[in-house]
Amino acid sequence: MGKLSRNVYMVSGGVTKFTKASPDMDFRLRVKKAFDYAMNDVNMELKDIDGSVASYFSDHFQRQLMSGVMVQDYLGLTPKPSRRVEGGGATGGLSFQAGVEEIASGRMDTCAVYGFESMSHVNTWKGNEFIALASDTNFDYPVGGFYTGYYAMMAARYLHEFGATVEQLAQVSVKNHKNALSNPYAQSPMNLTIQDVRNSPMVSYPLTRLDVCAMSDGAAVAILADEKRAFELSDNPVLVKGIGSGTDTMRLADRPFGKVPLLAHEKESDYKNLKYPGVHSFRAGRTAAAEAYKNAGITNPIEEIDVVELHDAYTSSEIQTYEDLGLCKYGEGANFVSEGKADLKGKVPVNPSGGLLACGHPVGATGIMQAVFVFWQLQRTIKKHFGNDKLQISNPKRGLLHSHAGTGTYVTVSIMEAVK
């Protein structure tokens, strides 16, 4: 496993405002809005796009198969090459990386990665059923049939393993909903207290309604290019410095109890008595981070990364993910948030956009949305795109985006770097 064989840049991005339901537009029009925003930002025309990657998770939500080619068609990109990439919650991250590979391989010089999901076509509980079908239908779906239940068991074990508290989980919700107050694309910006989070209805212990992201309608687009095209199209492209991805067993029950795969800055003695990953950590997240860091030349992530957009479908997952990414050691994630290290003005701002918790989670669009927000951060153009600069990190050099599928089955980590 080595580096990308040629430099890949992100040159533009677009996102629709995520909402609980926007029946005034279908998925094609939603993507078109995000696509046109991205195209107009760098004055691109359809002839400038070599091909595309379609990012969407479920065929159930719309009862429409081949939605990808319908978008391709609607955008006017036929007969150019395209394919669909799918991997649960990590669909966006995997698709982004597939687009990166199209450029890195030399097959395409420009590639549009478009992501979408229209989840409002069914009620929330039916939506949960569709999502739960992304668990083993022989052994897991008939027993739990509810992803929040699976994550809740992981969270309960995490609390037991490391002595963290439910109030510390709640702090993630408070932070991310608050950040979103300045993000015009966010679905649920809110000013919350820890008590608000704990007092909201219990969904699956220890996770309350405000510990869990919502379902959404939304679309997002990232446009990638090789070095030559990138600098022709933009005076401020952002380099994709490294990508990594990992996997884990579909069934939580099968997760082993082994040793922590160490990052460059960690020692075996850090984790003498820790059985890993068990059901308290995401081994795929660690695997993805290790690969991405190696390719990007990162040896001490907390010092070398300036902004992170990670997959906080649950407050607990954000805390678990700090550790997988090596922003702190395993077991220190809860303190990382309660000490304010992930705050907008903290050591490394995590989910300054508001994350999935506050922006919403239209599955196929989510990972692309993260890419767009990190891209704008590194371009230092948040003010232009958000209409205010409250969330602009000052002079960020390097950003990390992290996309994650059901209980950590697929995880991607991509590192982007400002060049201007």
Residues that bind other proteins (CB under 8 A): 23-24, 63, 123, 125-126, 128-129, 132, 137-140, 142-146, 148-150, 152-154, 156-157, 160, 201-206, 249, 251-257, 279
What is the Cα–Cα distance from 131 to 44, expressed in whole angstroms? 36
- Determine which helix (DSSP H) or strand (DSSP E) holds 300, and give its type and residue range: none
What is the Cα–Cα distance from 260 to 267, expressed in whole angstroms? 10
The residue (of 81 and 144) whose beta carbon lies closer to other proteins is 144
CB of 211 to other proteins, least distance (A): 12
The residue (of 128 and 370) whose beta carbon lies closer to other proteins is 128
| 16 class by beta-carbon count within 10 Å (0-12 exposed, 13-18 middle, 19+ buried) | buried
What is the Cα–Cα distance from 151 to 46, expressed in whole angstroms? 42
The residue (of 152 and 382) whose beta carbon lies closer to other proteins is 152
If you write DSSP's letter for every residue of 221-260 in order, what string do you get?
EEEEEEHHHHHHH-SS-EEEEEEEEEE--SSGGG--EE-P
The residue (of 210 and 279) whose beta carbon lies closer to other proteins is 279
CB of 124 to other proteins, least distance (A): 9
CB of 21 to other proteins, least distance (A): 10
CB of 251 to other proteins, least distance (A): 6
- The answer to whether 1 touches 287, Cβ cutoff 8 Å, is no
The residue (of 60 and 265) whose beta carbon lies closer to other proteins is 60
Tokens of residue 101, six digits = 């590979």
The residue (of 69 and 122) whose beta carbon lies closer to other proteins is 122
Tokens of residue 374, six digits = 């990190």
The four Cα atoms 386, 390, 394, 397 give a dihedral, to 10 degrees, of -40
The residue (of 46 and 202) whose beta carbon lies closer to other proteins is 202
CB of 118 to other proteins, least distance (A): 12
CB of 206 to other proteins, least distance (A): 8
- Which of helix, strand or coil describes residue 134? coil
Distances (CA, A) of 132 to 19, 114, 122, 377: 22, 24, 14, 34
CB of 1 to other proteins, least distance (A): 20
CB of 161 to other proteins, least distance (A): 9
The residue (of 248 and 318) whose beta carbon lies closer to other proteins is 248
**Distance between terminal CA atoms of the chain?**
29
The one-letter amino acid code at 44 reads M
Strands, DSSP E only, in 263-420?
276-277, 307-309, 398-404, 410-418
The partner residues of 83 in beta bridges, in order of sequence, read 53
